Structure 1
Amino acid sequence: MVPGPGEAGRATAVPRRVVVAKPGLDGHDRGAKVVARALRDAGMEVIYTGLHQTPEQIVATALAEDADAIGLSVLSGAHLTLFTRVIDLLAAEDASDIVVFGGGIIPEADRAQLLERGVAGVFGPGATMASIVEWVREHVPEREAG
C-alpha cells in the first residue's frame, strides 16, 4: 500500500496484543469471553487461553505471543494467589512490562492488595465493556511497527 499525503515516514501502530486467561479451577468463562470479544471488536489482537490454565501456562502464552497485556478472570476466590503468581512469573522472566489487569468476584478490600502487588487494573461485576476497552487503551501502550 502506498502512503497517502503526509504519511511517508510516519510510524504505524501495531494492534495491542492481549492474552485473556482463566487461571485455576474456575470453570465459568462467559465473562472472559465477553471481554475478549469486546477487546477484539475494539481492534486488538486477543489470544484466549481457555479454562483451567496455570499461571505458568498463562505467562508462557504471553511470552510466546509477544503480548502487551494479560487479562485475568477469576470467580473462584483465588485471585490474590493467582494474580500474584502471574506477576511474580513475569518478573522472573524479565517481562514486567506486560500489563496485568483482571476482574471477577473480587472483594473491595482485596482490590487494594492486588494493586499493591502490581496488578494494574481491577474490574468487578458491573464494569462495562466500554470502560474495560478504554482502560486498556489508556494503560497498554501501542507499539510501533518494525
Structure 2
Amino acid sequence: MTARILVAKPGLDGHDRGAKIVARALRDAGFEVIYTGIRQRIEDIVSIALQEDVAVVGLSILSGAHIALTTRTVEALEAAGAGDIAVIVGGTIPQGDVPKLLSAGAAAVFPTSTPLDVLVTEVRKLTGTGNPA
C-alpha cells in the first residue's frame, strides 16, 4: 500500500523550492504526493487532505509563523474529524521551537538542512510503510 502525503505551503510564504524538493524526494521514495502550491489557507489544506484521503499533511513554513500555522492545522483537522492525519512540519524552524511544535500536535519536525533520507525514513515510520521492495 502506498501512503498518500499532502505537501502544503500555508500562509503568505511564497518560496517553495524546499517544498518541491521534499515532494520529489517523497515521490521518488514511493509515496503518492499531492502538492498544493504556495499561499494556501488552512481550511483549504484540510479540505484537500480529506478529499485526497492522505495519511500525512506536510507543512513547509519559512515565514516564522510555524507554531501558529501548525496549531491551526492540527486543530482544523481534529475539528473535521481527521485527527488521525499526521501533521509534519519542515522549514526555517529554530531548534528551540521543535518541542513547541511537537506539543502543538506535530508528529515530526524537520528543520532546514534535515537530510532527505532522514525525512523519508521518518515518514515511512509514521505511515507504517517501511522500505519498499
Question: What is the TM-score with the length of structure 2 in the denominator?
Answer: 0.94
- Runs of 4 or more above 4 Å deviation: none
The alignment yields a C-alpha RMSD, in angstroms, of 0.8
Matches within 5 A, 1:13-52: 14-52=1-39
Residue of structure 1 in register with 2:47 after alignment: 60
Gaps of 5+ in 2: none
Residue of structure 2 in register with 1:104 after alignment: 91
Q: 1:68 is matched by which residue type in structure 2?
A: A
How high is the sequence identity, in percent, across the aligned residues?
53
Query: Which structure dedicates a bigger proportion of its chain to helix?
Result: 2
Question: What is the TM-score with the length of structure 1 in the denominator?
Answer: 0.86
Residue of structure 2 in register with 1:91 after alignment: 78
Q: 1:125 is matched by which residue type in structure 2?
A: T
| Residue aligned with 1:18, SS | strand
Asked if 1:73 is matched to 2:60, the reply is: yes
| Residue aligned with 2:113, SS | coil
Q: CA deviation at 1:94?
A: 1.3
| Residue aligned with 1:36, SS | helix
Residues 13-35 of structure 1, C-alpha deviation per residue, up to 9 Å, x if partnerless?
x2000000000000110000000
Q: CA deviation at 1:93?
A: 1.0
Larger Rg: 1
Residues 59-101 of structure 1, C-alpha deviation per residue, up to 9 Å, x if partnerless?
1000000000000000000111111100000110111110110
How many residues align? The count is 129
